[in-house]
Structure 1
């Protein structure tokens, strides 16, 4: 029997819709066999609403049902701190591998059972598994500054020979990394397959003959890879039967946390698809930015597209959990003071083509200003007037934008003036006060009619 791998990744906020993650669990149970390795490539404890209130431990309901063989950590698995992740590692049934991350001179999580590489014995084959994490995690995830990283390719180069010497007939990588690093792992380290996470662009390909899969986010797809033939099969979880035990466990967590309280009603569903949130003006993006400006009284507001998470549309009766899941981060809304010249720069950086490493997407959703395409660039208008370079404007933003250079690098901590409540609390408060009736208003040029 040829060994196969079932690969899931970036489950993130699927826990907040119990049937969704339960379908993934049901599909894994249906597809696995004695020569099947079940593996996750990170961000499978969060972010999400239940992740916020349980420090990621809601994932144990899924892990106990699926009983994976091995898992690696993604950047969002560190959202609730080092001890919270160690606790999940210690209490989950699978083995964990993370080869390129250290803390205080030691490999991270070794005391909780995290291994540099794991040798998994299947019915007729031994498979070595090595997990690696994007070194840019310290720029993306607050509270991770103390982590120490080696390059993912270097970590695989160390571990692959060791695992083969230990008896591994196949070695695979769980790479929660950017696309460049994941492809380099496939091309340069001699692994038999790369199972990637982090990017939510769901796809499968081969790099120099090495199978390479990314399942995308929120448990929508499960990849199955034959390690002998390299054949790849993509399974859509929507057709799977949900695991009832997972549904019941997660529903109990939601009810116990008071997250099922209804706070608003939506007549026209608001999409949360990746293509919509990164494709131009978007009703949900307008709603979030409006909430920030209302709460703070700032001249304008901007929300980065990556800070709004994918998921089912907001439709019908909307609960506290639904709204928190839009932006489930423990980050405050911050009012910044910027010059007109800086605001013009910030608006230009909403175009992914302007920042190294970002795809060709629109990353900014705005309130209190209109953005026009003029003379090959972008011109912001505040209160109907073009901005003046030497005037100052207040701009409400998620705190994350002040601590990272990956998005909107013009904004820094030095621009902060005043901090308000957590993003998701502001969103819930705004919905309670005004309901949810977001519309497209021509705030962004060439707007996509994102319902």
Structure 2
């Protein structure tokens, strides 16, 4: 029998003639994305921070190679954020911190200073590569691309904010670089720097999502902003639209194989999408205790009846942003009545409850503050008809996109043609039964957000302010006072806004 050492040369010869294939290393990376989480409580047994935190804890326990990522919008708007400017969301997410959070447009509803304050209170990092101070320097406390070392892999997180934020939020002097171009450039750079997996954590609308997907510079994109749930995979990039209020969650497992070929490291992966309906999730006890405490404090203040509606009310998002709404009429009528204005304009994007009310519903303070959570102030200004017409043109300029600038009005009627070019869509404007005169002056009740140019309403500026911006009532306060004074209200859709071509 030959000595064992005698066969080694033969083995070496075989190895030389037939190179051994390197053994693949397998890694499972889990990505849990969430965004647009406004309400701290559940809704009809689904969503809310207690269930969200329970899922995040479970995912991390099941796989230590888990990244928990936030893609924008939580500080506002909500019923409670009107009181604490979003601190409740920071306290609740600090219980199970994110690995990375991207600021959405609603992080700036109370201004940049409030956002920076909330960043400092967070037990997790915030980042956005396309948001800077006015001079182009990094925003305080907000980082850029983050590279995480996970099981020997370099995972680059590309955080991208919504570049339309200045037109829909109180962003002050902050600069927002183009979301798509900046995101794609950063992804390319991260790949060139040796990242194995590129993950976009973005707050962009679906049009921009498609552009990011088409670039194929990302392995995974987790996107917020659209309030919907979707998953997709084109063989190159996996995509998740992360729902709203944590109602539906979709952890994605990347089953990664790392091999070596010709001296180079080769990364291959396949996605496994999972679906979680949080109605089936047991709330996290620690988080639920905080939720219960917050709820009790609100109940004492808000569950007070202020009047009754004889007619059905509708504040659904797709309605208040596209057509005359009974809830929009109630709010605009209250603004006009409380200020003595000729007309009132309320941007549909400021009406937030996204619900209906049956005729005969008892309205409470909670209902009104849920509809109007931003803390906006009612302002009375005097404008020439030409500027008022410009405001109405802006209101319908993006109606096909469901933009929040769509106006709910009082004291006037108008028609518009959505097939016409933006800026030339409005016709037949009547105020008090008389055609609008470009040179006549009208007293117009608006909220301070659109008066300052929010939602594209630049044309409202420059008028004579009758109510100082610091002296007005909250829009919500005006509506509550209006309902309480009347006792019974009966707003209805009555032809204030007519869409032509129907």
Instruction: Please classify the TM superposition score into its range, dividing by the shorter chain length.
Output: 0.7 to 0.9
SS in 1 for 2:32: strand
Contact preservation (8 Å) 1:281, 1:444: yes
1:2 aligned partner: 28
Q: Which moved more, 1:401-410 or 1:33-42?
A: 401-410
| Distance of aligned partners of 1:371 and 1:23 in 2 relative to their CA distance in 1, 3 Å threshold | farther
Partner of 1:280: 323
Match of 1:84 in 2: 114
Kept in 1, the 8 Å contact 2:405–2:456? The answer is no
Equivalent residue number for residue 295 of structure 1: 338
TM-superposition CA deviations, 1:286-319 (whole Å, max 9, x none): 1111111111111121211111124455575544
Counterparts of 1:230 and 1:272, CA distance in 2: 38
Residue 430 of structure 1 corresponds to 482
Q: Give the equivalent residue in structure 2 for 1:391.
A: 440
Match in the other structure for 1:252:
293
2:199 corresponds, among 172, 178, 182, to 172
After superposing the two structures, state which structure 1 stretch, 292-301 or 56-65, moved more.
56-65
User: Could you say which residue in structure 2 is the equivalent of 1:421?
Assistant: 473
Number of equivalent positions:
440
Match of 2:496 among 430, 439, 443: 443
- C-alpha contact (below 8 Å) 2:392/2:426 kept by paired residues: no
Partner of 1:213: 240
Q: Which structure has the bigger radius of gyration?
A: 2
Instruction: Give me the CA root mean square deviation.
Output: 3.5
Gaps of 5+ in 2: 1-26, 255-268
- Displacement, 1:353? 4.5
Pairing partner for 1:407 from 444, 450, 456: 456
The DSSP-based 3-state class of the residue aligned with 2:238 is strand
Please show how residues 139-218 of structure 1 align to structure 2 within 5 Å: 139-142=167-170, 144-153=171-180, 155-156=182-183, 159-160=186-187, 163-164=190-191, 168-188=195-215, 190-200=217-227, 202-205=229-232, 209-218=236-245
Gaps of 5+ in 1: none
SS in 2 for 1:331: coil
Contact 1:347-1:380 within 8 A present in 2 as well: no
Distance 1:361 1:146 in 2: 22
- Return the TM-score normalized by structure 2: 0.75
- Which residue does the alignment assign to 1:15? 40
Partner SS state of residue 445, structure 1: strand
SS in 1 for 2:80: helix
CA distance in 2, matches of 1:57, 1:4: 29
TM-score relative to the length of structure 1? 0.83
Shift of 1:116: 0.9
Corresponding residue to 1:99 among 108, 129, 139: 129
Q: Which residue of 1 aligns with 2:164?
A: 136
Cα distance, 1:314–1:163 mapped onto 2, change above 3 Å: farther
The answer on whether the counterparts of 1:346 and 1:408 sit within 8 Å (CA) in structure 2 is yes
